[in-house]
Structure 1
């Protein structure tokens, strides 16, 4: 019984961490995408940074989907 409760607490804690990381990565991705769209001299390094930020965000998105996280349960 004790372990079942602890398991639920740990899952909730790490789900919350995952959602926080997703928010941060989404903001970073949007910031870099904005910079790429408004830069006159676009280089390959900037494009790769935007692609990497996008891939990181969608990786965490897939992880959240696999864990069946309901975002409404974790709203602040």
Structure 2
């Protein structure tokens, strides 16, 4: 899958990443149909979040379709 990724201070890049999987019983896998970055992502881009690690995926404002859920998920 393609993911907008923090590559270096001042640089995001769309890169290929592995498909997500259910790891925890409370997880959900969502196929993103529309996404956007938000101001917290812009803070990462501009270096204002020193704890942001190279390689993190940004763009957590999204709309999508739930593809899979863990055993403890009862509603979304």
| TM-score between the two structures when normalised by the length of structure 2 | 0.19
Structure with the larger strand share: 2
| TM-score between the two structures when normalised by the length of structure 1 | 0.19
Greater radius of gyration (CA): 1
